[in-house]
Amino acid sequence: MENVMDGKAFCPAAAFEILTGLTRTLQIVNQASWRETFQALWISALHLVQRAKDPVAGPISYIESRLSMLLSMVPLSIHPLLKEEIHATINAGTGSSSRKQGLVACLQSLTHFVSLLDPPQPVVRAANDAATKAAIAVMEFKKENTNMMVPQNYSTKAVGNLLHLVVESCMARDLIDTSAYFWPGYVIPFRVPEDSDMTPIEECPWSNFMQGAPLTGSLQSVLMAIPAPSVIELKKLNHLALHGSEEERSAAPKILCGASLKNGWNIQEHVVHIAVKLLSPQISLASPVIGDANHYLIHVHMLASLLSCLSCHTVIHILALYGMIPEVVAALMPLCEAFGSFPPPSTNQSNAGEEVSAYSVFSFAFLFLLRLCKLHGPDKEPHPYICGAPARPDLKLDFLLLMRDSRIRNKCTTSMKNYLNNVVDLFQDLRYRSVYVDMFPKLRAWYLENQAYLAPGILGSCHPNSMHKVSNKILIFVCRNMNKGKWPMPGSGSSCSTITSTGSSTSSTSIGSASGSSWGIYEDEYHNPPLYPAWELLEAVPCVLEAILTACARGQISSCDLTTGLRDLVEFFPASIAAIIRYFKAEITRGEWESVPLNGIDWPSPEDSLNSYGLEVKEVLESVGVHIESWSPDDALPKLPLPLAAFLSLTITFKLDKNSEYTRAVTGQAIANYATISPWPVVSAIGALWARKAPRWHDYLVFLGVRSCFTNDRDAITQLLQSCFKSFLGPSSGERNYMASTRGVVGILGESVCNSRAMSPGFLFLRTCHVFHAPYYFSEVILKLVVELACKLADECSHRGSTYLKFGQPSFATAISAVRQVAMLGTSLLCMAGRSPLVRILFEDTLPIFLLSKREERSKPMTSICNILEGYALSYLLFFSTAMMWGVRTESTLDKSGSSEMSPHVITSHLDFITRVLDGNLELRCDPAMWKAHVSSFVGLIIRFSPAWVIGTKLDVLKQLSSSLRSWQEYNLALFLLELGGTSAIEVALESLL
């Protein structure tokens, strides 16, 4: 659950689709009943919410998205499983419904987990309303069927909890019916004292809206705070957003993306799809502007309002949970291309008092696109293969577009394809068309330049002379407030440099004499902002940055003037922060700028909190079992490269209000990435300065310092992984407080996250695994830890008297179960950190090297049971990793689909590796008992849980495996393996029987 919530926050697949596959896989692998499986799913989701009740205070809130996991994602993931069983029972002619019965039974059993049902403060009212709804339904039923007389002072108000919200969410998806209201103990109405005043029931504001009440300020505020009761209201909002008045077009998206999107869990999937669909408004055939992109101007107020709502942290998380990131990215691209090419008109103010311009809409769309595609962070480059989120292929723009186009092709009908073939305009009906970067020349130029890490960038279509003019205009605007608002006279020697026609700068010519003009011309000109199309401004910003940064380095302008100029530029044109980040990123990577001291005079100083910040970071690391070298900075003040010092100084001048969130989010993520990849004391300087800027984010900023130590420190990664295993398994039986220790999922993840100093190893791992830059090493550590713990369990088993392999002994069975749990934990950590690429590394590199290399000698000889348990550990780790990534394939699943999909490539490659070893082509350096246990167990797991993986395997491989299994007296495994090989293996199977 944590993996889906955090590790896959930006993956193209929807969270409920992932949960459906994982639920089916775990039910098969664990051989659990559906009641046990559903109960584990719900408890995991409840734990997820409880851990977010008191989160580490920071710029990102997880409570809404985690409630979406509980109340929307889980019911949606269960729906296909119940539907699948219904079809199976209809085809079989039976009436059994074990899955639905298991769901009802597990929901009833949740009343035993009282601590998990305590609702977070934001949903207390919703939980009480759900309980009251059930109480009213029960009362109405009794009145109609039993003629029960209700006392006058009887109230149907009830106190609810998360179970009531869960039940309502399941009813909304037709998983259960209203009979749940009559479960024992579900509704406990209470009597109200006679002298108390009954609060009248307030009329639902949504009823007023549906009856035609105007969307005034008061009604708009109420509708934004209360989720819509059904899809009907959403459809009306969608109509008003496209065809309403100017005020309604601006208000409808805000209402849609308010509580209906964040807290409307029963209809959330509908809200998400409507909101994303509004990003690509359909063109009316009667519109006179068909043929160019100007039709976006018709919806400019709607788009500005919608983009400002969608680009907040919480909504982005929810969009990602529903797998809508590819669709959003494809919809943003034409918006960026269109509004970035419009000549900026004067700011238009709507009747609602909101200012909307091409700059604002472009900035919303462009920065939103950068956040979704992860193009704004200073990730460490070049690096061929990064283990974790920043380098995952699904975070790249091209891959997201391919994913989106694949979905379009699957959904698009033949008639729609014929219609689209007759549409000439590029921007029409992009909801049903394939979208490529090459379709948008301006965006493509910026994207290629960003990928190449060039600075300054002049790859756009702007002519050099034109860019020279734009750059000088921006430079004059940026420098207008320097030296107390007065321009230096020509030749004063203290002015910014001018931009030459080649995009470089020169310090010999002042602003006042840039073109040989007199001071009076520029005195009039600098009052006017540079009004050019957004793409031209973005193209020219790097040249301006180079000029003012060079001037600052040469002492021609002060650091304060530099920061003020940058802030003015961002306030005028928010999208310029993307060019600023990209330019500073390239310049820091180039490393040719001198470092400047953070002395509190020229640049802000973190001296007063530097030492305490470092000590807090060290304290948190030690609390999770990670001990590193002292990070206490030297007595000297920290120094930062000039571009980084300028960028850091700029970020701490930004406001922390809601209106600037979309700009601050891109900037904050970039500075957080700088803190992650930078050495100490750069990390402490960034954290200490920002802790002073936002004291309420103190714990979050300490966490950034903690995360930075795992970027390249392999020893720290190893210690964290060891802590994860130890907290999951608990102390051994011989250690103190053995019985009182916390184990399992609660042991590794903790009950809650109160502050940064109370982090659990698992929580820290989830928040840091995406910065691990050593995938091969990480895979190797996981494998070795699993094997070492298996050997440790074998030693404990041997001490109890089971020196040899004797089936039926409780100690050995317990050890096997523990080895399975260790392998499952290793699988979870592996998949969370690197997903399928890391699983392939495990199969194709880590495991072969481990088996073919000489093992380190132990202080005491290894017993046979130790070797056997190590073999089991390897087989469990490989099988579970494959099952988690690609799911299991049983024979029934294969027959039902009519497909002959073969096993994942990693299974085929490992079976080939086993065959080469059995043929004598490879010489193993491991113990033969370990090898035999691994092969037998691995083949047995495939046959038992995923027999369809064998289909398509080469006949020679099956023959060799079968022969070896028979020689090890594993006759049943050998026969079953050949039976699964298809008709080509029948003859070999008959020969084996003879």
CA 358/CA 355 separation, integer angstroms: 10
Task: Report pLDDT for 476.
Answer: 87
CA 646/CA 587 separation, integer angstroms: 12
Q: pLDDT tier at 388 (50, 70, 90 boundaries)?
A: very low
CA 927/CA 862 separation, integer angstroms: 10
| Coil, helix or strand at residue 313 | helix
Look at residue 457 and tell me whether its pLDDT is greater than 90.
no
pLDDT tens digit sequence for 865-881: 888 999 999 999 999 99
Higher pLDDT, 809 or 384: 809
Could you give the angle at the alpha carbon of 249 between the alpha carbons of 247 and 250, nearest 5°?
65
Q: Name the average pLDDT for the chain.
A: 78
Please list the alpha-helical segments (H only) found in 422-558: 441-452, 464-478, 482-485, 519-525, 534-553
Higher pLDDT, 633 or 214: 214
Q: pLDDT tier at 896 (50, 70, 90 boundaries)?
A: very low
Task: Report pLDDT for 548.
Answer: 92
* Amino acid letter, 77: S
Task: Report pLDDT for 495.
Answer: 43
Q: Contact, 666 vs 578, CB < 8 A?
A: yes
**Mean pLDDT along residues 958-972:** 87
**Mean pLDDT along residues 839-864:** 83
Q: Contact, 300 vs 356, CB < 8 A?
A: yes
Higher pLDDT, 869 or 287: 869
> Nearest CA to 370 among 133, 637, 574?
574
Burial class (CB in 10 A: 0-12, 13-18, 19+), 992: middle
Look at residue 391 and tell me whether its pLDDT is greater than 50.
no
Neighbour tally for 151: CB within 10 Å: 9
Higher pLDDT, 894 or 404: 404
Rg (C-alpha) for the chain, rounded Å, is 32
Q: pLDDT tier at 189 (50, 70, 90 boundaries)?
A: low
Displacement of CA 499 from its chain's centroid (Å): 41
Percent of the chain with pLDDT over 70: 75
Task: Report pLDDT for 271.
Answer: 96
Structure letter (DSSP) for residue 759: -
Task: Report pLDDT for 365.
Answer: 94
Higher pLDDT, 56 or 768: 768
* Candidate from 526-535, 689-698, 802-811 with smallest mean pLDDT: 802-811
* Candidate from 73-77, 274-278, 299-303, 345-349 with smallest mean pLDDT: 345-349
Task: Report pLDDT for 426.
Answer: 38
**Mean pLDDT along residues 929-936:** 93
CA 45/CA 77 separation, integer angstroms: 12
> Nearest CA to 129 among 265, 279, 313?
265
**Mean pLDDT along residues 611-617:** 86
Look at residue 506 and tell me whether its pLDDT is greater than 60.
no
Task: Report pLDDT for 150.
Answer: 54
Query: The tokens of 447 are what?
Result: 């994207």
Q: Which residue has the tokens 């030459």?
A: 500
- Which phi and psi (to 5°) does residue 785 adopt? -65, -40
> Sign of the C-alpha dihedral, residues 93, 99, 103, 104?
positive
Look at residue 385 and tell me whether its pLDDT is greater than 80.
no
Q: How far is CA 24 from CA 28, 77, 969, in A?
A: 6, 10, 33
Task: Report pLDDT for 382.
Answer: 29
First to last CA, the chain: 50
Higher pLDDT, 532 or 434: 532
Q: pLDDT tier at 277 (50, 70, 90 boundaries)?
A: very high
| Coil, helix or strand at residue 327 | helix
Q: How far is CA 791 from CA 794, 862, 931, in A?
A: 5, 8, 14
Query: The tokens of 455 are what?
Result: 């600075």
Q: pLDDT tier at 32 (50, 70, 90 boundaries)?
A: very high
**Mean pLDDT along residues 573-579:** 92
**Mean pLDDT along residues 393-418:** 67
Q: How far is CA 29 from CA 38, 503, 600, 942, 945, in A?
A: 14, 62, 60, 10, 6
Q: Contact, 128 vs 162, CB < 8 A?
A: no
pLDDT tens digit sequence for 304-313: 999 999 988 8
Look at residue 503 and tell me whether its pLDDT is greater than 50.
no
Q: Contact, 466 vs 460, CB < 8 A?
A: no
pLDDT tens digit sequence for 334-348: 999 999 988 876 555
Burial 628-650 (b: 16+ CB within 10 A, else e): eeebebeeebbbbbbbbbbbbbb
Higher pLDDT, 75 or 762: 75
> Nearest CA to 299 among 281, 320, 275?
281
> Nearest CA to 604 among 653, 571, 557?
653
Q: pLDDT tier at 993 (50, 70, 90 boundaries)?
A: low
Task: Report pLDDT for 175.
Answer: 95
- 356 has which bridge partners? 348
Q: Which residue has the tokens 């002015």?
A: 495
Q: Contact, 577 vs 663, CB < 8 A?
A: yes
Task: Report pLDDT for 95.
Answer: 56
Higher pLDDT, 452 or 141: 141
Question: DSSP letters of 713-748?
Answer: -HHHHHHHHHHHHHHHH-S-TTSTTTTT---HHHHH
Q: pLDDT tier at 176 (50, 70, 90 boundaries)?
A: very high
CA 565/CA 475 separation, integer angstroms: 9
* H/E segment holding residue 829: helix 810-841
Look at residue 513 and tell me whether its pLDDT is greater than 50.
no
The count of C-alpha atoms lying within 13 angstroms of the C-alpha of 865, restricted to the half-sphere facing its C-beta, is 24
pLDDT tens digit sequence for 541-573: 988 999 999 999 998 899 999 999 999 999 989
Q: pLDDT tier at 172 (50, 70, 90 boundaries)?
A: very high
Of these ranges, 357-371, 719-733, 799-813, the one predicted with the greatest mean pLDDT is 357-371
Look at residue 244 and tell me whether its pLDDT is greater than 80.
yes
* Candidate from 28-32, 228-232, 775-779, 795-799 with smallest mean pLDDT: 795-799
Higher pLDDT, 413 or 580: 580
Structure letter (DSSP) for residue 594: P
Which residues make Cβ contacts (< 8 Å) with residue 13, sequence separation at least 6? Answer: 323
Look at residue 443 and tell me whether its pLDDT is greater than 50.
yes
Q: Which residue has the tokens 């919200």?
A: 165
Displacement of CA 481 from its chain's centroid (Å): 41
Q: pLDDT tier at 379 (50, 70, 90 boundaries)?
A: very low
- Which phi and psi (to 5°) does residue 710 adopt? -95, 0
Task: Report pLDDT for 634.
Answer: 55
Look at residue 261 and tell me whether its pLDDT is greater than 60.
yes
CA 718/CA 782 separation, integer angstroms: 9
Task: Report pLDDT for 43.
Answer: 94
| Coil, helix or strand at residue 926 | coil
Beta strands of 570-673 (E only): which ranges?
A: 595-597, 639-641
Burial class (CB in 10 A: 0-12, 13-18, 19+), 53: middle
Task: Report pLDDT for 257.
Answer: 94
CA 925/CA 946 separation, integer angstroms: 30
Burial 590-608 (b: 16+ CB within 10 A, else e): eeebeebebeeeebbbbee
> Nearest CA to 649 among 620, 711, 702, 692?
692
Please list the alpha-helical segments (H only) found in 57-204: 63-68, 74-92, 98-109, 124-146, 162-172
CA 808/CA 13 separation, integer angstroms: 44
Q: pLDDT tier at 412 (50, 70, 90 boundaries)?
A: low
Q: How far is CA 885 from CA 25, 827, 834, in A?
A: 10, 10, 11
Please list the alpha-helical segments (H only) found in 212-296: 217-225, 231-243, 246-256, 259-262, 268-278
Q: pLDDT tier at 375 (50, 70, 90 boundaries)?
A: low
* Amino acid letter, 756: S
CA 468/CA 476 separation, integer angstroms: 12
Q: pLDDT tier at 988 (50, 70, 90 boundaries)?
A: low
Query: The tokens of 685 are what?
Result: 């300087």
